[in-house]
């Protein structure tokens, strides 16, 4: 299902799902999903628990492989990529997890430097102290963007949930991504931190013209920070509208 | 009477018994355990009469040990230092080999089941064979002296650290590895950036315990010719120089105590900062 969009497409769309299916054993989670993301577009993915949102997102950097169908990411067909090509592609997809999944005993700066792991040679992005000066400067600039430059040397286990999620976003930015995927990025945060993180993601994708695909249960977040809202139910896309053409009531009815 | 349904008379009636009769299997197990203990006490030829008869000789030897003979204290000091060097060198070599072996011996990081099985078996062999047996082996193969002791301690450390390093690698939360993989990190990068930093406190703890263990065992390795102060102690005891023997024992006690104290302090300092 393709969304109406006014964006003029000059380069291939960052993400194309064609009849994608995914099963775990006998259970079919995704039942033929077709979806195209437009460049620079911010898309919210809605759906109740078990609808297949996380599975869909995890297919994009091929954390898990589909059972059928085709997935094109940044112009590349995932199925035919070699291990090395997949590694290079992953380096350009920023992935923000529900739980930040940082290395707790390392500093915010080193965790941000890890964003360059996919594009640097052996050992140069393992620790900020071993990284070349341009990488350290870039990582600090990414932390500055998320407002945490003054916590650069703090171990991430000493940061709050909201701060940790912002470091995870800085790490994703360090990848110089063309596409950012966020799997319920505010699910484990309090409302205020969640709002801050969503505002940050929305603003950064807009200023850097990044394509953003995030899943959420917060209908207000979908309306405020997405250009387009896609609804998933029982492994199928049943809703696809521009956010300015829908309302909170309509989105609520989608969950009923 | 309380309104709480949990405290109602019905609830009291359904209280479980305080003790339960163990099942047949468990009862048989307990009986077998006591039988084994009785057999061991009997088979070990424990004799209270021999112990009673030995008390006067123990007193005699102890009196002869006092006061300690300090005439060879400088020589004993030098040998103790050698023993300490042997323990530290052996521990370092053992830890160096234990790290990669632990990665292969941890289910979560081992690249292949065959490698996992071989590494586990190597760690078990190094750990289960007693250090004195390794010392005898190395004395025969590389000759009498400190080098045999260093190799013995290295193997012992490899077994001890290999096992505990592998266990701590298996115990950590592995979900951040998925995040690093999506960043394009390879296996080496994941080890260096996540697994080793996360396991560092546990590794430090294990290495310090291993060092304490090495210092204690390096003292006795000399008894079979693997260098260190043990040779001196054996000679003193064999030639009935109990005064010198007591000096050696006291020096060993002080060194082991100092190393343990330093290790405890280092552990506290390193674990609070790491």
Domain assignment present for residue B17? The answer is no
Which residues does chain B have within 8 Å of residue A98's beta carbon, measured at their own beta carbons? none
Residue B124 above 90 pLDDT?
A: yes
Q: What pLDDT does residue A1 have?
A: 44
**CATH number reported for the structural domain that contains residue B117 in this entry:** 1.10.3720.10
Domain assignment present for residue B241? The answer is yes
Domain assignment present for residue B18? The answer is no
The per-residue pLDDT for range A113-131, each reduced to its tens digit, is 999 988 888 888 899 989 9
Domain assignment present for residue B203? The answer is yes
Residue A146 half-sphere exposure, CB side, CA atoms within 13 Å?
A: 29
Q: What pLDDT does residue B273 have?
A: 60
First to last CA, chain A: 22
Q: What pLDDT does residue B95 have?
A: 96
Residues composing chain B: 274
The per-residue pLDDT for range A19-65, each reduced to its tens digit, is 889 888 888 888 888 889 888 889 999 888 888 888 999 999 888 88
SS3 labels along chain A: CCCCCCCCCCCCCCEEEEEEEEEECCEEEEEEEEEEECCCCEEEEECCCCCCHHHHHHHCCCCCCCCEEEEEECCEEHHHCCHHHHHHHHCCEEEECCCCCCCCCCEHHHHHHHHHCCCCCCCCCCCCCCCCHHHHHHHHHHHHHCCCHHHCCCEHHHCCHHHHHHHHHHHHHHCCCCEEEEECCCCCCCHHHHHHHHHHHHHHHHHCCCEEEEECCCHHHHHHHCCEEEEEECCEEEEEEEHHHCCHHHHHHHHC
Q: What pLDDT does residue B30 have?
A: 92
CB-nearest to B197 from A99, A106, A119 is: A106
Q: Which of residues 110-149 of A touch B (CB under 8 A)?
A: 110, 114-115, 117-119, 122-123, 125-127
| pTM to 2 decimal places | 0.77
Handedness of CA B183, B185, B189, B195 (dihedral sign): positive
Which residues does chain B have within 8 Å of residue A126's beta carbon, measured at their own beta carbons? 189, 192-193
Q: What pLDDT does residue B118 have?
A: 95
The shortest C-alpha distance from B29 to chain A (Å) reads 42
Percent of chain B with pLDDT over 90: 35
A180 touches chain B (CB under 8 A): no
The shortest C-alpha distance from A58 to chain B (Å) reads 10
First to last CA, chain B: 56
A88 touches chain B (CB under 8 A): yes
Above 0.85 for ipTM, yes or no?
Answer: no
d(CA A216, CA A174): 23
Q: pLDDT band for B274, please (50, 70, 90 cuts).
A: low
Q: pLDDT band for B5, please (50, 70, 90 cuts).
A: low
Domain assignment present for residue B78? The answer is yes
Across chain B, mean pLDDT equals 87
Q: What pLDDT does residue B11 have?
A: 54
The per-residue pLDDT for range B150-182, each reduced to its tens digit, is 999 999 999 999 999 999 999 998 888 888 888
Residue B233 above 80 pLDDT?
A: yes
Domain assignment present for residue B39? The answer is no
Flag if A103 and B188 touch (Cβ within 8 Å).
no
Q: What pLDDT does residue B12 have?
A: 60
Higher pLDDT, A4 or B18: B18
Residue B142, CA distances (Å) to A31, A80, A101, A233, B215 in order:
68, 56, 50, 72, 21
Could you report the average pLDDT of every consecutive run of 10 residues in chain A (256 residues)? 48 86 87 87 88 89 88 86 86 86 91 89 87 91 86 90 88 88 84 82 82 89 88 86 84 77
Q: What is the mean pLDDT of residues B226-237?
A: 83
B115 touches chain A (CB under 8 A): no
**Is the omega angle on the peptide bond into residue B67 within 30 degrees of 0, that is, cis?**
yes
Task: Name the residue with tokens 């059928």.
Answer: A68
Range of the domain at B122: 71-273
Identify the three-state secondary structure at position B2. coil
Q: How many domains does chain B contain in total? A: 1
B187 touches chain A (CB under 8 A): no
Domain assignment present for residue B62? The answer is no
Question: Quick one: which of A165, A203, A170, A200 has its CA closest to A184?
Answer: A165
Domain assignment present for residue B35? The answer is no
Q: What pLDDT does residue B262 have?
A: 87
B200 touches chain A (CB under 8 A): yes
């Amino acid at each position: 299902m393709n969304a109406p969009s006014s964006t003029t497409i000059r380069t291939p769309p960052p993400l194309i799902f064609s009849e994608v299916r995914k099963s775990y054993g006998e259970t079919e989670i995704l039942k033929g999903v077709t979806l195209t993301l437009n460049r620079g577009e911010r898309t919210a993915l809605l759906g109740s628990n078990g609808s297949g949102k996380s599975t869909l997102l995890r297919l994009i950097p091929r954390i898990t492989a589909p059972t059928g169908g085709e997935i094109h990411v940044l112009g590349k067909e995932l199925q035919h990529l070699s291990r090395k090509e997949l590694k290079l592609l992953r380096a350009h997809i920023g992935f923000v997890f529900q739980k930040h999944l940082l290395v707790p005993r390392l500093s915010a700066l080193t965790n941000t430097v890890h964003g360059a792991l996919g594009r640097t040679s052996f050992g140069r992005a393992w620790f900020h102290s071993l990284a070349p000066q341009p990488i350290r400067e870039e990582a600090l600039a990414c932390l500055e963007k998320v407002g945490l430059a003054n916590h650069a040397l703090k171990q991430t286990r000493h940061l709050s949930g909201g701060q940790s999620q912002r470091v995870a976003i800085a790490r994703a930015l360090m990848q110089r991504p063309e596409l950012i995927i966020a799997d319920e990025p505010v699910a484990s945060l309090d409302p205020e931190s969640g709002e801050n993180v969503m505002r940050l993601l929305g603003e950064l994708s807009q200023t850097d013209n990044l394509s953003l695909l995030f899943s959420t249960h917060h209908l207000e977040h979908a309306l405020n920070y997405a250009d387009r809202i896609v609804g998933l139910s029982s492994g199928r896309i049943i809703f696809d509208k521009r956010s300015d053409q829908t309302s909170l009531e309509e989105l609520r009815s989608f969950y009923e | 009477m309380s309104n709480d349904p949990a405290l109602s008379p019905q609830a009291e009636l359904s209280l479980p018994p305080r003790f339960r009769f163990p099942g047949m299997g468990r009862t048989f197990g307990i009986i077998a355990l006591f039988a084994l203990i009785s057999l061991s006490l009997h088979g070990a030829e424990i004799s209270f009469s021999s112990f009673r008869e030995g008390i006067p000789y123990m007193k005699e030897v102890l009196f002869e040990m006092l006061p300690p003979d300090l005439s060879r204290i400088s020589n004993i000091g030098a040998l103790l230092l050698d023993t300490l060097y042997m323990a530290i060198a052996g521990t370092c070599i053992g830890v160096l080999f234990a790290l990669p072996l632990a990665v292969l011996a941890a289910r979560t990081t081992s690249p292949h089941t065959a490698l996992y099985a071989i590494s586990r078996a190597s760690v078990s062999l190094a750990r289960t064979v007693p250090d004195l047996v390794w010392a005898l082996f190395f004395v025969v193969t590389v000759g009498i002296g400190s080098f045999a002791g260093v190799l013995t301690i290295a193997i012992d450390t490899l077994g001890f650290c290999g096992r505990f390093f592998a266990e701590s690698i298996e115990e950590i939360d592995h979900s951040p590895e998925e995040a690093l993989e999506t960043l394009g990190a390879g296996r080496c990068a994941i080890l260096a950036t996540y697994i080793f930093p996360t396991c560092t406190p546990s590794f430090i703890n294990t290495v310090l315990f291993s060092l304490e263990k090495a210092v204690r065992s390096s003292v006795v390795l000399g008894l079979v010719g693997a260098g260190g102060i043990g040779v001196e102690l054996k000679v003193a005891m064999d030639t009935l120089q109990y005064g010198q023997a007591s000096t050696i024992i006291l020096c060993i006690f002080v060194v082991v105590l100092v190393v343990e104290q330093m290790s405890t302090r280092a552990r506290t300092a390193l674990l609070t900062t790491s």
